[in-house]
Structure 1
Amino acid sequence: MKRIIIDCDPGNGIAGSNVDDGLAIALALASPEISLDLITIVAGNTPVTTGYSVIKDLLTRLRLDIPLVRGASHALVEPEQPWRDILDNRLHDPALKSLWHGVRQPQQFDAGNDEAADAIGQLICANPGEITLVAIGPLTNVARALKKYPQMASAVQEIAIMGGVFALDDYIKDTNFGFDPEAAWQVLHSGANLTLVPMDVTTQTLMTHQDLQRLALIEHPLVNFVCETLRPWIDYSIAQRHIPGCWVHDALVVAWLLNQRVATAADYYVDVELRPGVTRGKSWRYRPPLRLKVGINEPAGGLVHVLQQVDNAQLIAMIEHYFSGLVR
């Protein structure tokens, strides 16, 4: 059984917020091969208190006693407000806002103190070589844990990250690296065993209403949560992104841990831009020897396992398979 921590910024049920974190958590909960030992929340897709309530509400509904710990409410350096202005105000069109009409809102809970870095670092360092850290939000909590517990870099079995974008026409940066570039840089240069699932591969994923209809036939509270919260997001994605469904970025990270045949991968050095300007937060990858390296320093940190191509049919089949197993 694979023991994991999920560090995330969930928005399931919140109008205009992405729902892939909740799907990733649901897939982990449905998988008998995974022991979900800890969930931590970071600011990103949603404010940290909102994300905490989303998952606390889910765990309460499922009567699950998985430790849930609130983390950072803002990035290490990056100003928070420009990101919140965009991420929290996507629904200017009343027709888009109405997509969430009738969707159950998560109950509000007291998120407590910011203790995620300690929770992550202590659990990993107390169990060297046993814990995989699934980081599917901005990397603030992870960077802070690595700084406070430097031995964590060698103690963690793997850090599997959803973040970065290399060569997509519509993106210079993604939310997870862009929201906290310094944290991304620190994790990429930590020397830990890293797998990166960038937007270049996650935008090859697709979940449609037809896929969701098949899942809706599975009568289980966890699957009900997935279907109810994904349905408006699929409609939003169809309207705003002009694709026939929605991407399921974070779920691919968990699926990869379960079966690496779901995607191809190759090793690269990966870095992220920290300087001010339009490319701040942008990631890039390369493999030495470079044919031209004027002004390029020797790479720091280690090679990163980067996912490249996904088998979306297998990904959707895996999700359906594990959710179906909940009622056997």
Structure 2
Amino acid sequence: MKRVIIDCDPGNGIAGANTDDGLAIALALASPALSVELITTVAGNTPSDVGAQVAKDLLVRLGSALPVVQGATQALKEDHAPWRAALDRRVRQLDMLDLWQGVRAPAPIAVDGDDAADAIGRLVCDHPGEITLVAIGPLTNVALALQRYPAMAEAVAEIVIMGGVFALDDYIKDTNFGLDPEAAHQVLHSGAAITLVPMDVTTQTLLTHQDLSRLTARDHPLCHFVRDTLRPWIDYSIRTRHLPGSWIHDVLVVAWLLNQRVASGTDYRVDIELRPGPTRGKSWRYRTPLRVDVGIPADCGALVHVLHHVDNGLLLEIIEQALTSLER
């Protein structure tokens, strides 16, 4: 059984917010092979306090005492205002609030603290080699934890990150790395064992309404949560991205921990652009030896395992098996 911390920015039940974090949490909670020991939230897809409410509300509905600790409210250096304007107002600008009509919003419930970085660092360092960190939001909390607990880079079993985008025509940068480039840079260069799950592979995933109905057919609170909160996001994705369903980025991280046949990967040198300008927050990668290496230092970038191809059928099978095996 893998012991995991999930650091996330869930938006289930929040109009216009992506729901893939909630699906990732649901898969982790439903899987006997994983022991979720802490959920922390970071500003990203939603503000960190909103994400904490989403996670805590779900756990209360499940009767779980698993701790939820709120984390960083903004990036290390990046101005959060333009990101919040884009992320929080888009659904209204597109006049699609109606999609969330009747969807239960998370109840205002007290969470278990507001210092996620400390909670992450202490848990990892108290159990060296035993904790896998699932980082599916901006990496602010993780970077702060590594700053405060330098031993954490060696103590953590692995950090599996959803973030970065390398070669998608419609993206220069993604939200997770773009919202806090300095944090992403610090974590990538920390020396920890890292697997990166970029948008290049997560945009190969797809969940349709038909898939969702099949996956959540069981009468269980976790299935109800997934079905009710993902339906409006799938409709939103169909309208705005012209897909037959929605991408389910973050859940691939959890599925890969359960069954590494779900995605293949390769070791790359990876880094992120920190300079001001339109490419700030852009991630890049290369494999050695470079065919043209003029002006490029040896071992430039951090050595990271990067996933690049997904078996979407197996991904859906992993989710379905976990959710349909739930006991009331």
Q: TM-score, normalised by structure 2?
A: 0.97
* C-alpha separation in 2, matches of 1:293 and 1:254: 36
1:319 aligned onto 2:308: no
Give the counterpart letter for 1:40 in structure 2.
T
Residues 150-182 of structure 1, C-alpha deviations (whole Å, 9 max, x = no match):
110010000000000000000000000000000
Q: Equivalent pairs: percent with the same residue?
A: 68
1:152 aligned to 2:137? no
Where does residue 186 of structure 1 map in the other structure? 186
Cα pair 2:132 2:156 within 8 Å, conserved: yes
Q: Structure 1 residues 30 and 111, CA, compared in 2 at 3 Å: closer, same or farther?
A: closer
Classify the secondary structure of the residue corresponding to 2:234. helix
Aligned match of 1:164: 164
Quote the residue 1:116 is aligned against. Answer: 116
Q: For 2:29, give the aligned amino acid.
A: L
In the alignment of these two chains, the number of paired residues is: 328
Unaligned runs of 5+ in 2: none
Q: Is the 8 A contact 2:68 2:112 kept in 1?
A: no
Q: What is residue 96 of structure 1 aligned with on the other side?
A: 96
Instruction: Find the aligned partners of 2:297 and 2:74 in 1 and give their Cα distance.
Output: 30
Return the alpha-carbon distance in structure 1 between the equivalents of residues 307 and 162 of structure 2.
10
Q: Which amino acid aligns with 1:229?
A: T
In 2, Cα distance between equivalents of 1:92 and 1:235: 15
Cα pair 1:9 1:46 within 8 Å, conserved: yes
Alignment gaps of 5+ in structure 1: none
* Alignment correspondent of 2:296: 296
Provide the residue aligned with 1:310 in structure 2: 310
Instruction: Say if 1:221 and 1:112 are closer, same or farther in 2 by CA, change over 3 A.
Output: closer
Assess if the C-alpha contact under 8 Å between 2:67 and 2:112 holds in 1.
no
Give the conservation status (yes or no) of the 8 Å contact 2:216–2:323. Answer: no
How far, CA to CA, are the matches of 1:197 and 1:320 in structure 2?
21
Cα shift at 1:300: 5.6
- Does the C-alpha gap of structure 1 residues 194 and 275 become closer, same or farther in structure 2, counting only changes over 3 Å? same
Answer whether contact 1:131 1:156 (CA < 8 A) is retained. yes
Deviations 1:270-296 (Å, cap 9, x if unpaired)?
100000000000000111221212222
Return the alpha-carbon distance in structure 1 between the equivalents of residues 301 and 189 of structure 2. 4
Q: What's the offset of the Cα at 1:299? A: 2.8
Give deviations 1:50-104, integer Å, cap 9, x for gaps.
Answer: 0010011111111101111111000000001000000000113575110000000
Contact map agreement 1:190 1:301 (CA 8 A) in 2:
no
Matches within 5 A, 1:246-325: 246-299=246-299, 302-325=302-325
Aligned AA for 2:156?
Answer: V
Contact 1:49-1:111 within 8 A present in 2 as well: no
- What is the CA deviation profile of residues 201-225 of structure 1, one whole-angstrom value per residue up to 9, with x for unaligned ones? 0000000000011123211000100
What one-letter code is carried by the residue in structure 2 that aligns with 1:271? D
> Are 2:264 and 1:242 equivalent residues in the alignment?
no
Match of 2:4 in 1: 4
Q: In 1, Cα distance between the equivalents of 2:158 and 2:143?
A: 14
Task: Name the SS of the counterpart of 1:60 in structure 2.
Answer: helix
**Which residue in 2 is equivalent to 1:140?**
140
SS of the aligned residue for 1:35 comes to strand
Asked if the contact 1:219–1:327 (Cα under 8 Å) also holds between the matched residues in 2, the reply is no
* Alpha-carbon distance in structure 2 between the residues aligned to 1:300 and 1:7: 28
Letter in 2 for 1:98: D
CA distance in 1, matches of 2:96, 2:264: 36
Distance 1:300 1:108, change over 3 A: farther
Residue 268 of structure 1 aligns to a residue whose secondary structure is strand
Q: Distance in 1 between matches of 2:75 and 2:113?
A: 16
State the partner residue of 1:198.
198
Distance 2:237 2:174 in 1: 16
Residue 178 of structure 2 aligns to a residue whose secondary structure is helix
Q: Secondary structure at the match of 1:161?
A: strand
Mapped pair 1:64 → 2:64? yes
Q: Which amino acid aligns with 2:307?
A: L
Distance between the aligned counterparts of 1:154 and 1:300, measured in 2? Answer: 21
Aligned letter for 2:210? Q
Judging changes above 3 Å, is the alpha-carbon distance between structure 1 residues 56 and 273 closer, same or farther for their aligned structure 2 residues?
A: same
